[in-house]
């Protein structure tokens, strides 16, 4: 599993006005075309990527590391949205329980808990976009102009001006127009803050929540797709593409800081946007230097994009079917760095971190769309790493539907199965380096056999009375059902740490970090192997309750190998509360193989 071979599927962007092609798993190109791609040597001919060796092997006889020496502040640059083909099972005509697009005429008719008279947080009805009785099924445009989403830190003044003008015109539209800036922000609010129910699926008493499940990635991909088309139509430029914000690249946010620009938002932590982003943000600033943040950021990205996402469930999140709530858990990337970045940008002067730091108001900040453009890029990047890195084939996922307004004010019904290929949707991402692929965390210290000496000093899970409250650091020895697994066994199944039944206050920003075999009282840094991952959630409302329940998972196979603890009977798990954790309870901590 960790040594699979993957080929690059990264074609050059299709020319505007032509029909995108489906590309093979490797590509051949001339040296002149390659020179504009930071990934490759100027002498490359045909190149393939060895998934976890991260080297480009070229027929021209050269073998170069994919990552160049970069300015240490220009880190966490992405690889680009892949437009290559993916393997999918056929979609059956009869499915079990896909979530159907909501009936927007019923938006906001449910009473939610937590909304108090005079509170600054809007009522659920304020989340509702304009209603329409006419719904069109989505059809792929013919002869659509192919778009290349550019890296924000590389934008020209001309492009920034164009982006600013598009947002300005969107804000100037009448409030009754579904393309209006605030109405577009309402779309996100309605889908994640209790305004919609599953009435179209036959469950009017269960709300729709597009976070914390396998719907996170496809919903936001469709959301950006239509948002981008609206912006392009407003400036009469069908090639206009949303920039993506390369996290930890300060230059990527500088043009958002002009108070005279339509891209400016008064409800932001403007000081944060002038420095290096903290991808592990705990809700308050630390005294970490920029270099320390960079090291942690690179390691977090490696952990969340490589170690913890070895299969579709780990990447996309758990299943979410009609009649159910999304309690199986969000994917690794969604929980971190996606969520901490939201909160890092949000205004600390606001009660709930508005705008970007709260689900209901996130879409009111233009930076939201650049942030999620980069999140979407991670989906394409993850699929090229090979092995089990493929889209979900479950028909309930593929046939889940949403509704969005297009550039002509039409209400359009879309399906997950139609958004799996970026080239089919008519866009790709500018190529830039991906230094975190070679940023595997290193052990703080040798950890072989440490759990043996902790037996009797630290409780095993069978001796702990669950649920456990996370008002302080929790340490527990978790038995491993199987140790010393063979290479074949590891390739077939990942060893997973599961924290089950996490109940938290959904109206707070909550976060905790998880460490493995870290016996010291002061937790290891995030750039060290002992760090297993983070759980983080933004504030949001729910129908009839103020708490939510979900799960967390982290990959252990690579971690235990690096810690030389593959032969140990137990794993020491340390859960460290960071923000809003005083109300969190945990039902179980265990190890499984999947």
Mean of the per-residue pLDDT values of the chain: 83
Q: Which residues contact 409 (CB under 8 A, 6 or more apart)?
A: 177, 178, 179
pLDDT at 329 over 50: yes
The candidate with the shortest Cα–Cα distance to 324, out of 396, 402, 227, is 396
| pLDDT (mean) for 441-470 | 90
pLDDT at 4 over 70: no
How far apart are alpha carbons 230 and 235 in whole angstroms? 9
Give the DSSP letter of residue 117: T
> pLDDT tens digits, residue range 236-248?
999 999 999 999 7
Name the phi and psi angles at 216, rounded to 5.
-55, -55
Residue 306 near residue 190 (C-beta atoms within 8 A): no
Looking at residue 370, its pLDDT comes to 98
Name the phi and psi angles at 338, rounded to 5.
-50, -55
> pLDDT tens digits, residue range 114-139?
444 444 444 555 789 999 889 999 99
- pTM confidence score: 0.84
Residue 342 near residue 312 (C-beta atoms within 8 A): no
pLDDT at 21 over 80: no
Element counts in the chain: helices (H) and strands (E): 13, 20
How far apart are alpha carbons 577 and 226 in whole angstroms? 38
Q: Which residues contact 377 (CB under 8 A, 6 or more apart)?
A: 78, 79, 80, 81, 149, 244, 429
The candidate with the shortest Cα–Cα distance to 127, out of 206, 213, 194, is 194
How far apart are alpha carbons 48 and 4 in whole angstroms? 13
> pLDDT tens digits, residue range 284-309?
999 999 999 999 999 999 999 999 99
Looking at residue 243, its pLDDT comes to 98
> pLDDT tens digits, residue range 373-425?
999 999 999 998 877 889 999 999 999 999 999 999 999 999 999 999 999 99
Question: How many CB atoms within 10 Å of residue 525?
Answer: 16
Q: Cα separations (Å) of 25 from 5, 380, 473? A: 11, 14, 46
Looking at residue 546, its pLDDT comes to 82
Per-position DSSP letters for 396-436, written without gaps between them: HHHT-EEEEE-TTS-EEEEEGGGSS-TTTTTEEE-----GG
Per-position DSSP letters for 369-399, written without gaps between them: HHHHHHHHHHHHHHHTT-TT------HHHHT
Specify burial of residue 348 (Cβ count, 10 A radius: 0-12, 13-18, 19+). middle
> pLDDT tens digits, residue range 58-115?
232 222 222 222 232 233 333 333 333 333 333 333 447 999 999 999 998 654 444 4
Residue 538 near residue 371 (C-beta atoms within 8 A): no
> pLDDT tens digits, residue range 535-592?
999 998 776 678 899 999 999 999 999 999 999 999 999 999 999 999 899 999 999 9
Mind telling me the catalytic residues? 188, 211, 220, 338, 342, 359, 372
Helix (H/G/I), strand (E/B), else coil: 302: helix
Name the phi and psi angles at 244, rounded to 5.
-110, 140
Per-position DSSP letters for 317-351, written without gaps between them: BS---TTS-S-S-B-HHIIIIIHHHHHHHS-TTST
pLDDT at 48 over 60: no
Give the bridge partners for 384, in sequence order: none
Classify each residue of 56-78 as buried b or exposed e, where b means 16 or more C-beta atoms within 10 Å of its C-beta: bbbeeeeebebbeeeeeebbbbb
Largest separation between any pair of C-alpha atoms in the chain: 70
Better-scored residue on pLDDT, 498 or 519: 498
Better-scored residue on pLDDT, 338 or 444: 338
Q: What percent of the chain has pLDDT over 90?
A: 72
> pLDDT tens digits, residue range 426-455?
999 999 999 999 999 999 876 678 899 999
Q: Angle at CA 67, nearest 5°, toward 64 and 69?
A: 105
How far apart are alpha carbons 151 and 374 in whole angstroms? 9
Q: Which residues contact 28 (CB under 8 A, 6 or more apart)?
A: 45, 46
How far apart are alpha carbons 315 and 534 in whole angstroms? 14
Q: Angle at CA 202, nearest 5°, toward 197 and 208?
A: 25
Q: Which residues contact 345 (CB under 8 A, 6 or more apart)?
A: 268, 269, 272, 273, 356, 357, 365, 367, 371
Looking at residue 386, its pLDDT comes to 76
Give the DSSP letter of residue 26: S
Residue 66 near residue 434 (C-beta atoms within 8 A): yes
Count how many Cα atoms sit within 13 Å of the Cα of residue 460 in the half-sphere of its side chain: 11
Three-state SS for 507-562 is: CCCEEEEEEECCCCCCCCCCCECCEEEEEEECCCCECCECEEEEEEEEECHHHHHH
Looking at residue 445, its pLDDT comes to 75
> pLDDT tens digits, residue range 372-386?
999 999 999 999 887
The candidate with the shortest Cα–Cα distance to 278, out of 504, 583, 578, is 578
């Amino acid at each position: 599993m960790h040594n699979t071979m993957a080929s690059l599927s990264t074609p050059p962007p299709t020319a505007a006005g032509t029909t995108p092609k489906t590309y093979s798993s490797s590509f051949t190109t001339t040296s002149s075309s390659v020179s504009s791609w930071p990934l490759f040597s100027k002498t490359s001919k045909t190149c393939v990527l060895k998934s976890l060796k991260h080297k480009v092997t070229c027929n021209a006889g050269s073998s170069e590391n994919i990552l160049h020496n970069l300015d240490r502040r220009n880190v966490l640059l992405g690889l680009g949205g892949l437009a290559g083909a993916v393997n999918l099972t056929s979609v059956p005509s009869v499915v079990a329980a896909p979530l159907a697009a909501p009936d927007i005429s019923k938006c906001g008719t449910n009473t939610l808990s937590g909304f108090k008279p005079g509170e600054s947080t809007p009522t659920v009805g304020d989340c509702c976009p304009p209603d329409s009785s006419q719904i069109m099924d989505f059809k792929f445009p013919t002869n659509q102009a192919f778009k290349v989403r550019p890296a924000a830190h590389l934008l020209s003044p001309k492009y920034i001006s164009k982006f600013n003008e598009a947002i300005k015109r969107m804000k100037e539209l009448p409030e009754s127009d579904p393309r209006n800036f605030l109405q577009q922000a309402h779309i996100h609010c309605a889908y994640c803050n209790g305004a919609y129910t599953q009435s179209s699926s036959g469950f009017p008493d269960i709300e729709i929540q597009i976070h914390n499940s396998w719907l996170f990635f496809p919903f936001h991909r469709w959301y950006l797709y239509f948002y981008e088309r609206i912006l392009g139509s407003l400036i009469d430029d069908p090639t206009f593409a949303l920039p993506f914000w390369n996290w930890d690249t300060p230059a990527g946010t500088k043009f958002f800081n002009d108070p005279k620009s339509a891209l400016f938002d008064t409800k932001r932590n403007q000081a944060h946007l002038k420095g290096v982003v903290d991808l592990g943000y705990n809700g308050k600033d630390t005294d970490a230097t920029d270099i320390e943040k960079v090291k942690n950021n690179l390691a977090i990205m490696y952990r969340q994009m490589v170690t913890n996402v070895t299969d579709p469930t780990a990447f996309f999140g758990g299943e979410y079917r009609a009649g159910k709530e999304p309690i199986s858990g969000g994917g690794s990337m969604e929980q971190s760095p996606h969520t901490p970045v939201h909160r890092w940008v949000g205004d600390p002067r606001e009660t709930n971190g508005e705008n970007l730091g709260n689900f209901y108001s996130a879409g009111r900040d233009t930076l939201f769309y650049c942030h999620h453009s980069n999140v979407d890029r991670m989906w394409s990047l993850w699929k090229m790493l090979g092995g089990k890195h493929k889209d979900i084939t479950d028909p309930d996922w593929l046939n889940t539907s949403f509704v969005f307004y297009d550039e002509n004010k039409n209400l359009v019904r879309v399906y997950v199965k139609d958004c799996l290929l970026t080239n089919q949707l008519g866009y790709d991402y500018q190529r830039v380096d991906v230094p975190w692929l070679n940023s595997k965390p290193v052990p703080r210290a040798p950890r072989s056999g440490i759990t043996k000496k902790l037996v009797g000093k630290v409780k095993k899970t069978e001796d702990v009375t669950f649920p456990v409250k996370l008002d302080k650091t929790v340490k527990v020895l978790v038995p491993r059902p199987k140790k010393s697994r063979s290479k074949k066994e590891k390739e077939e199944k990942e060893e997973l740490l599961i924290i089950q039944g996490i109940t938290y206050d959904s109206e707070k920003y909550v976060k905790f970090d998880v460490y493995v075999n870290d016996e010291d009282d002061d937790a290891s840094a995030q750039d060290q192997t002992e760090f297993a991952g983070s759980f983080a959630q933004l504030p949001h409302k729910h129908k009839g309750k103020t708490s939510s329940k979900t799960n967390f998972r982290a990959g252990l196979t690579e971690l235990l190998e690096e810690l030389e603890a593959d032969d140990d009977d137990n794993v020491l798990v340390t859960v460290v509360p960071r923000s809003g954790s005083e109300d969190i309870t945990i039902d179980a901590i265990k190890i499984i193989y999947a």
